[in-house]
């Protein structure tokens, strides 16, 4: 075989194997078309504007049964207290903040909400309809079930 023939055959083989390899390559997304036959996983559902879920134990901070987006709590304003404070609760029909929220860390009763309890969402979170992250056999205590 002449040298130039060998070179041409070599070239053809190289191109063919290159094409075969290109065929196997695919993006991380796989071969799914961009227009989305695959649906993204469903975002778990927040439960705004529902009734307050029962508590599981006495000391549990109750979950928030309503939307809190845009409710500011900072140095100058506390949106939560504009409904939940004792002076507003009657008119807004919100649950009054607990008596414990007027007590400071030394157990002294204060005339206004304790600084420890000022940032409500430190402890209270909106409720969400979601399966438990870990299977467990926890049962709410009798005292609050009855």
Q: How far is the CB of 45 from ligand HEC (least distance, A)?
A: 18
Q: Which is nearer to ligand HEC, 46 or 61 (CB)?
A: 61
Q: How far is the CB of 137 from ligand HEC (least distance, A)?
A: 23
Distance of alpha carbon 82 from alpha carbon 69, whole angstroms: 15
19: left (phi over 0), alpha (psi -120 to 50) or beta: alpha
Q: Which is nearer to ligand HEC, 47 or 65 (CB)?
A: 65
100: Cβ contacts below 8 Å, ≥ 6 apart: 117
89: Cβ contacts below 8 Å, ≥ 6 apart: 83, 95, 96
Q: Which is nearer to ligand HEC, 47 or 116 (CB)?
A: 116
Distance of alpha carbon 141 from alpha carbon 59, whole angstroms: 11
Q: How far is the CB of 40 from ligand HEC (least distance, A)?
A: 29
Q: How far is the CB of 55 from ligand HEC (least distance, A)?
A: 7
Q: Which is nearer to ligand HEC, 47 or 79 (CB)?
A: 79
Residue 78: strand pairing partners: 73
Q: Which is nearer to ligand HEC, 17 or 56 (CB)?
A: 56
Q: How far is the CB of 25 from ligand HEC (least distance, A)?
A: 50
List contacts with ligand HEC (CB under 6 A): 51-52, 59, 61-62, 64-66, 68, 71, 78-84, 92-95, 97-98, 100-101, 113, 116-124
138: Cβ contacts below 8 Å, ≥ 6 apart: 56
């Amino acid at each position: 075989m002449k040298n130039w023939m060998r070179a041409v055959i070599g070239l053809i083989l190289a191109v063919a194997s290159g094409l075969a390899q290109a065929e196997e390559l695919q993006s991380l997304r796989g071969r799914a078309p961009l227009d989305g036959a695959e649906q993204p996983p469903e975002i778990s559902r927040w439960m705004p504007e529902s009734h307050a879920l029962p508590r599981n134990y006495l000391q549990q901070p109750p979950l928030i049964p309503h939307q809190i987006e845009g409710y500011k709590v900072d140095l100058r304003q506390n949106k939560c207290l504009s409904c939940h404070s004792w002076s507003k609760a009657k008119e807004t029909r919100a649950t009054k903040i607990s008596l414990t929220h007027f007590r400071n860390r030394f157990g002294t009763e204060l005339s206004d909400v304790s600084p420890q309890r000022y940032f409500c969402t430190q402890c209270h979170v909106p409720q969400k309809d979601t399966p438990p992250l870990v299977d467990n056999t926890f049962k709410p205590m009798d005292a609050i079930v009855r």
